[in-house]
Amino acid sequence: MLRTHTCGDLRLTHAGTTATLCGWVDSYRDHGGGLFIDLRDRYGITQVVFNPPDTPPAIIEASKDLRAEYVIQVTGNVEPRPTGMANLKHKSGEIELRVTELKLLNKSKVPPVSPSESITEVPNEDLRLKHRYLDLRRQSMQRALILRDQITKGMRDYFADLGFIDVETPILGRSTPEGARDYLVPSRVHHGKFYALPQSPQLYKQILMIAGYDRYVQVARCFRDEDLRADRQPEFTQIDLEMAFIDDDDIMTIIDGLMQKLAKEVLGLDVQLPLPRMTYDEAMRRFGHDAPDLRYGCEITDLTDLAAKCEFGVFTSVVEAGGHVRAICVPGGSNHYSRRGIDALTEFARGLGAKGLAYFRVDDAGKLDSNIGKYFTDELKAEMAERLGAKANDLVLFSADQWLPTCKLLHNLRKKIGEEMKLYDPKAMNFSWVVQFPMFERTEDSDNPQAVGKWSAMHHPFTAPLDEHVVNLDDDPGKCRAKAYDLIINGYEAGGGTIRIHDPEVQSKVFGLLGIDKETAADRFGFLLEALAYGAPPHGGIALGLDRVVMLFGGYDNIRDVIAFPKTQKATDLMTEAPGLVDAKQLKELAIKTDL
């Protein structure tokens, strides 16, 4: 090794000894007679001092050429810092290294992105991505990747202790049934044939259950050829698992334990188990969304029956059309949102497709007050206020529409207001389950006009219905709820899974409802369906989004901040500079090699 210690190792107990350190020049201060350098590596920062008498004059002279991000090896005497000069921000901040030997290991050009914590300004993202090797030296990025490693390791250990086997499934394989666009890989060996990159290891892990592996886990890379977004990359990582001879409750119990362990290990938080579970129907009723943020209240109240009694035409006509009048009551919202604030919320609602935004302010006396107040009797307003639990200075916001549009609007209002009014502790972590999703939904938009109005699978066509809903496959598919469960963290879906169908008769009915005929099923899922005929055990699983979990545990907003080498939005600008894409010249060369 070129060093005896790292830059985070030395303590007062090392005083009086000799040490050799290697690292990067984080910052330097010339004090006339000598130089102070903060030497940095992954483990910390140590102050190294070039001063007489420890440092020979030739080395003091040489040290004057050192610049930011130069890589050096220094040997010297470990000494306590002078009284009052300790820097307790750093683990090695009580000592300094008085240099006796210096070796320049490498120079650096002037860095366009400064890795030093002493530079507080965060460079713009394009520069960060272009000079990723410098950006990755920044403490925030190092924290993210170390956190990612810690979470991955914690998960792997957890599952290994429970007897899960880590099995690698192919990257080059067949198309999987997720429905996003596949990346295709032309094969030279089988000319004219293509592999598909997996959108998930779904089919492979089901085959592993059929093959008797009982408990499978994998940190699996998955791919979707879709546009980039702040929370989506074309390649992403899943903690993917599957179990045999279990039911939905068993999967959730296993993941409960994982979340408790990770929260404790990573954040020092105690999480009570079991994590709360809420049905999809309840989530939509109370929060208007299937991934509700439970860090704060502000739940939806249904006022349809009361609205039917008012004289406000917008409300009564919606009720007559079979729609709903629902509202959220924002605590203290009337104080927070002025007339202009309400205007902004109304604009926001219009952006989501609403015609306007009806509201009541709650006055000091607890009474509802609004420009639409005249359409409501005092009794009605009092009844509404009571049902809403409205208190002085609250703000009541309405949505009057068909069920799903009211969900959409009120969920988004609740989310926006939660952020704007800081209704929750940003450091709080809230874990819960949403369960029993509908098996089927009616297709609304599709490139294929024949599909519109037909049933489509809310998860995938192998999802099992609740035992008591199997009968509804025949008489009322819309009523069928699935053995499906999503893990929700702070209002984000952090993972989801299902129990799979292992009964060929049920599978056949589900394919029938989805309009998948026998030939199509054999074409698309033949190798799984065949496997199911040779002794498939009851089985199910779940996949957690690792990128999302790291973002949530680490408090990061952008997925690119938890990935070492992300794809960039401006890929065409950065293509020849940043790791990521084949550039035009390479392409030509490679295309010739592969006969493309």
Binding site feature residues for L-aspartate: 178, 224, 459, 500
* Binding-site residue positions: 178, 224-226, 233, 459, 493, 500, 545-548
Least distance from a second copy to the Cβ atom of residue 274, Å: 16
* Binding-site residue positions for ATP: 224-226, 233, 493, 545-548
**d(Cα 46, Cα 192) in Å, to the nearest integer?**
59
Least distance from a second copy to the Cβ atom of residue 280, Å: 25
Distance set, CA 277 to CA 61, 185, 481 (Å): 68, 41, 15
Q: Burial level of 387, CB count in 10 A (0-12/13-18/19+)?
A: middle
Structure tokens at 252: 């959730």
Q: Kind and range of the H or E element at 301?
A: strand 300-302
Shorter beta-carbon distance to a second copy: residue 105 or 308: 105
Closest of 319, 323, 306, 308 to residue 390, by C-alpha = 306
Least distance from a second copy to the Cβ atom of residue 173, Å: 6
Shorter beta-carbon distance to a second copy: residue 108 or 335: 108
Q: What is the DSSP letter of 407?
A: H
Residue type, 300: I
Phi, psi (degrees; rounded to nearest 5) at 473 = -55, -30
Least distance from a second copy to the Cβ atom of residue 288, Å: 32
Least distance from a second copy to the Cβ atom of residue 531, Å: 4
Shorter beta-carbon distance to a second copy: residue 91 or 416: 91
What are the residues whose beta carbons fall under 8 Å from the beta carbon of 142, sequence distance 6 or more?
A: 42, 136
String of b and e for 264-296 (b: at least 16 CB within 10 Å)?
eebeebebeeebebbebeebbbbbbbbbbbbbb
Shorter beta-carbon distance to a second copy: residue 56 or 154: 154
Structure tokens at 563: 């990935």
Least distance from a second copy to the Cβ atom of residue 71, Å: 5
Torsion of CA 57, 59, 62, 66, to 10 degrees: -130
Shorter beta-carbon distance to a second copy: residue 221 or 454: 221
Shorter beta-carbon distance to a second copy: residue 156 or 277: 156
**d(Cα 295, Cα 427) in Å, to the nearest integer?**
10
Least distance from a second copy to the Cβ atom of residue 146, Å: 6
Shorter beta-carbon distance to a second copy: residue 118 or 317: 118
Shorter beta-carbon distance to a second copy: residue 210 or 330: 210
**d(Cα 504, Cα 82) in Å, to the nearest integer?**
78
Asked if 221 and 237 touch (Cβ cutoff 8 Å), the reply is yes
String of b and e for 198-227 (b: at least 16 CB within 10 Å)?
bbbbbbbbbbbbbeebbbbbbbbebbbeee
Q: What is the DSSP letter of 366?
A: S
Shorter beta-carbon distance to a second copy: residue 278 or 536: 536
Shorter beta-carbon distance to a second copy: residue 239 or 327: 239
Least distance from a second copy to the Cβ atom of residue 166, Å: 5
The three-state secondary structure class of 77 is strand
The three-state secondary structure class of 574 is helix
Least distance from a second copy to the Cβ atom of residue 256, Å: 15
Shorter beta-carbon distance to a second copy: residue 250 or 441: 250
Least distance from a second copy to the Cβ atom of residue 576, Å: 7
Least distance from a second copy to the Cβ atom of residue 70, Å: 6
**d(Cα 15, Cα 556) in Å, to the nearest integer?**
39
Shorter beta-carbon distance to a second copy: residue 344 or 587: 587
What are the residues whose beta carbons fall under 8 Å from the beta carbon of 216, sequence distance 6 or more?
A: 164, 165, 166, 167, 205, 208, 209, 241, 242, 243, 541
Closest of 152, 246, 193, 124 to residue 497, by C-alpha = 246
Structure tokens at 577: 């500079």
Asked if 298 and 331 touch (Cβ cutoff 8 Å), the reply is yes
Shorter beta-carbon distance to a second copy: residue 41 or 94: 41
Least distance from a second copy to the Cβ atom of residue 102, Å: 15
* CA atoms lying within 13 Å on the CB side of residue 491: 18
Q: Please, which residues bridge with residue 392 across strands?
A: none
Least distance from a second copy to the Cβ atom of residue 544, Å: 15
**d(Cα 529, Cα 538) in Å, to the nearest integer?**
14
Closest of 25, 114, 115 to residue 62, by C-alpha = 25
Distance set, CA 560 to CA 28, 125, 550, 577 (Å): 31, 10, 11, 17
Structure tokens at 543: 């996949």
